[in-house]
Amino acid sequence: MKILVCISHVPDTTSKINFTEGDTKFDTNGVQFVINPNDEFGLTRAMWFKEKQGASVDVVNVGGAETEPTLRKALAIGADSAIRVNRQATDGFEVAKELAKVVKDGEYDLVIAGRESIDYNGGMVPGMLAQLTNANFVNNCISLEVEGDKATAVREIDGGKETLTASLPLVIGGQKGLVEESDLRIPNMRGIMQARKKPLNVVEPSETSARTEVVKFEKPAPKGEVKLVDPENLDELIDLLHNEAKAI
């Protein structure tokens, strides 16, 4: 089984976010980048298929050269090879088109992507990728087993869970639950050394054009001041909630 794991290069959630050029560009100065958490769950599950079923695992990213350390980390975790499509990821459809070409050229059986990236939170790429490659699709996936050319997946739905069966080729949008956080892997020294020798292939993008553009970024409004009320003074608390906060 050939598996392709889609890797997004995203800011660490502890990073301080700023914008430049009239709030139209994300300022990367001083920002630490990591593997998108939803993608990391998928990569860890792919490593299980590699170790238990002998699957081959490639990782792919659409981005500039600055994303290569993130791909190298995925290789250090255990992926066999990496592909970087040499294009800035600015539009979901554009990214899906580039990934679709990689999937078709590589004839992958299973594509594991995160349900969304934690930077733009668009949640659109996995579904569009499945459509573009004529593959089955399961989103919000929290469990995946594969036997032969059949997969059994569990996904979250409103109010519960749903178990599905599908034939390969298959695209999934994974999330926490696909593996648990305790199962995530930290690259060891041996993995880091081996990653330096594993192939990282850079491919040029197609002529696909973006269908959206960023007009402006805006930070959330700062938190207001907090008023502390003595726990014994319930009348004051009720008065503030009613007349100032308008909560009751």
Sequence letter at residue 199? P
The DSSP secondary-structure symbol of 145 reads: E
Domain range annotation of the chain: 2-219
* CB neighbourhood size of 225 (10 A): 5
pLDDT at 14: 87
In this predicted model, what pLDDT tens digit does every residue of 29-45 receive, in sequence order?
889 999 999 999 999 99
Mean pLDDT of 175-188: 92
The CATH number of the structural domain formed by 2-219 is 3.40.50.620
- In angstroms, rounded to a whole number, what is the distance separating the alpha carbons of residues 71 and 14? 21
Q: Each residue of 53-63: pLDDT tens digit? A: 999 999 999 99
Instruction: Answer whether residue 246 shows pLDDT above 90.
Output: no
Dump pLDDT digits (tens) for 7-18. 999 999 888 889
Confidence of residue 78 (pLDDT cuts 50, 70, 90): very high
pLDDT above 70 covers what percent of the chain? 100
Average pLDDT over residues 148-160: 94
What pLDDT sits at residue 2? 97
Which whole-number Å values give the CA distances from 133 to 96, 106, 110, 209, 241, in the listed order? 10, 12, 11, 18, 54
Q: Quote the pLDDT of residue 221.
A: 85
The 3-state secondary structure of 85-151, one letter per residue: EECCCCCHHHHHHHHHHHHHHHCCCEEEEECCCCCCCCCCHHHHHHHHHCCEEEEEEEEEEEECCEE
As given in the structure block, the two tokens for residue 49 are 């298929």
